[in-house]
Amino acid sequence: MFDIPFGTTDWEGVERTEHAGETGKAYWRTRNFNNIRVRIVEYTPGYLADHWCQKGHVLLVLDGELHTELADGRTVVLKKGQSYQVADGDLAHRSSTANGAKLFIVD
């Protein structure tokens, strides 16, 4: 991280954008700080990502339950207060949720 002065974010004031999944929708509130993207992401019930992601993330589940399918065949289930981290290009992954989830993501 570089050239990011101290600041605070009121996430309710950040514009919400809609992103369709293969099923369901994702709503993002995004802030960019040079080469770092910080987001609050909300998945609707029944959400399944429409792609396999190669981007690295640090992800924290704020609410709900997130299922992350990994390219090696594993599925990881995270609940409120749990997180994962993965580097760019390390292991393709995609998200889904049966009942919805709210996440904090840094990438």
Question: What residues form DSSP beta bridges with 81?
Answer: none
What pLDDT score does 1 carry? 86
Q: Is residue 62 domain-resident?
A: yes
Residues of the domain holding 40: 18-106
Q: Is the pLDDT of residue 6 over 90?
A: yes
Indicate whether 8 belongs to any domain.
no
- Cα 99 to chain center, whole Å? 16
What is the CATH classification number for the domain harbouring 33? 2.60.120.10
**Which pTM was predicted?**
0.94
In the chain, where do the E strands start and end?
Answer: 16-20, 25-33, 36-43, 47-48, 57-70, 75-79, 83-86, 93-97, 101-106
Residue 94, pLDDT score:
97
Number of domains in the chain: 1
Say which amino acid occupies 22: E
Residue 22 lies in a domain: yes
14 pLDDT exceeds 90? yes
Residues 11-40, mean pLDDT to the nearest whole number: 97
Q: What is the pLDDT of residue 95?
A: 97
Q: Look at residue 11 and tell me if it is in a domain.
A: no
Does 64 reside within a domain? yes
Is 63 among the domain residues? Answer: yes
The verdict on residue 3 lying in a domain is: no
Does 61 map to a domain?
yes
Q: Is 86 in contact with 57 (CB distance < 8 Å)?
A: yes
> What are the pLDDT digits (tens) for 30-86?
999 999 999 999 999 999 999 999 999 999 999 999 999 999 999 999 999 999 999
Residue 8 has pLDDT above 90, yes or no: yes
